[in-house]
Amino acid sequence: MVWIKTKREIELIRESAKIVAEVLNLVGANVRPGMTTLELDQLAEEYIRASGAQPAFKGYGSLKRNLFPATLCTSIDEEVVHGIPSKRTLKEGEILSVDVGVKKNGYFGDGAKSFAVGQVTAEKQRLLRITEESLYKGIEQAVAGNMVHDISAAVQSHVEQNGFSVVRELVGHGIGKELHEEPQVPNFGKPGTGMKLKNGMTLAVEPMVNFGDWRVRVAADGWTVSSEDGSPSAHFEHTIAIVNGKPEILTQ
């Protein structure tokens, strides 16, 4: 079931989403060679809690014996999403993808951004640029009266026209009182299909794009998803609301 949000609910989601954006800015300012992903995670958790909110990912999961242990998902190079922060140090030339969720006053915000660690190759710079562009191409289609897969098709088209591939096993989603709500928002699809978009819908749109093939595998930790062919990946995400027929980015 899709929950249509009231104006008040959208404002509450916006409050959580604003903290998400601030955390991504804070993390981005500290991404550099020699920094550990665990140090970035600690910075993020301290900031979220100081903002009167809770990290949405910490303790998340369906298996009680393997709940997600951290505030951030930190995924490096071929890791697509859900990488677990550790004492691993970042190296010059890597891509670090950071995903963060925040819960405040009972409502969630969710966002992600991929960062270049120091100087990266021209190919990696292009992967980052095209992935971020595809996010905005998708968001442009999130207008009342369009279909969910209009978002999906816009992302897929831009990515594939530029020679990259969209991950298919992982999708964007509705968001609100739950971190993951209906509808699912895939990054591939046929225009004019899927659920109709309406005012008051709140969505997390999140292209995950591989340099090589779209297929992925899950690591032994049960969380980290990597490209099957070992090629680098990038991930960008915004929480949006459809207001007065148009998409409004809440994670600004």
Q: Helix, strand, coil proportions of the chain in percent (round to 5)?
A: 30, 30, 40
Question: Taking the domain 7-249, which CATH number applies?
Answer: 3.90.230.10
Average pLDDT over residues 73-97: 98
Query: Rounded to an integer, what distance in angstroms lies between the CA atom of residue 45 and that of residue 55?
Result: 7
Terminal C-alpha separation, the chain: 27
pLDDT per residue as tens digits for the range 41-50: 999 999 999 9
The Cα–Cα gap between 24 and 33 comes to 17
Digit-coded pLDDT (tens) for 128-170: 999 999 999 999 999 999 999 999 999 999 999 999 999 999 9
Contact of 70 with 56, CB cutoff 8 Å? no
Q: How many angstroms separate the most distant Cα atoms in the chain?
A: 48
Written as six digits, the tokens of 127 are 């992967």
When the pLDDT of each residue in the chain is averaged and rounded to a whole number, the result is: 98
Question: What is the tens place of the pLDDT at every residue in 197-226?
Answer: 999 999 999 999 999 999 999 999 999 999
The pLDDT assigned to 1 comes to 87
Range 94-104 average pLDDT: 98
User: CA geometry: angle at 211 spanning 169 and 190, to 5°?
Assistant: 45
Kindly provide the b/e burial profile for residues 109-139, where b requires at least 16 CB atoms within 10 angstroms of the residue's own CB.
bbbbbbbbbeebeeebebbbebbbbbbbbbb
Predicted TM-score of the model (pTM): 0.97
Residue 50, strand partner residues? none
Phi-psi region of 13 (alpha: psi -120 to 50; beta: other; left: phi over 0): alpha
Query: What are the residue boundaries of the structural domains of the chain, listed by start?
Result: 7-249
